[in-house]
Amino acid sequence: MIRLLFILMGGLAGALIGGTVIGMIAAQILMHTPASAHAGWTAMGVAEMGGMAGLLLGAIAGIWLILRDGGRRAGTALTGLWVVVLLLIGCLGFVAFS
């Protein structure tokens, strides 16, 4: 039962990290592409698609981190994932309110 909870929490943390980071990267790449005059809506659409892909890839990566080595390091992996989530939320909050 605890292993299932760890898998769910690892997938959620991975999805939060992957969706945010890949969405931001996709939007920045589109905005800084040479000779492009993309409007804000196009960048938002690309960020949304990148975020969706990041959610899926991040959830898979989070579950893999929990299940690798037979789950012997599941607690350490889960703690590390959630520390990264908290740092990411802190950075986004700092950027949003500064």
pLDDT in tens, 30-86: 777 765 666 667 777 888 888 899 999 999 999 998 888 888 888 888 999 999 999
Residue 2: pLDDT band by 50, 70, 90 thresholds?
confident
CB contact at 8 A, 17 and 85: yes
Q: Determine the pLDDT at residue 34.
A: 65
Lowest mean pLDDT among 5-9, 24-28, 80-84, 85-89: 24-28
Tell me how many degrees the CA angle 77-82-87 measures, rounded to the nearest 5: 125
| pLDDT value at 15 more than 80 | yes
Mean pLDDT on 84-96: 90
Q: Determine the pLDDT at residue 41.
A: 72
CB contact at 8 A, 38 and 31: yes
Going by C-alpha positions, the residue among 75, 69, 70 that lies closest to residue 13 is 75
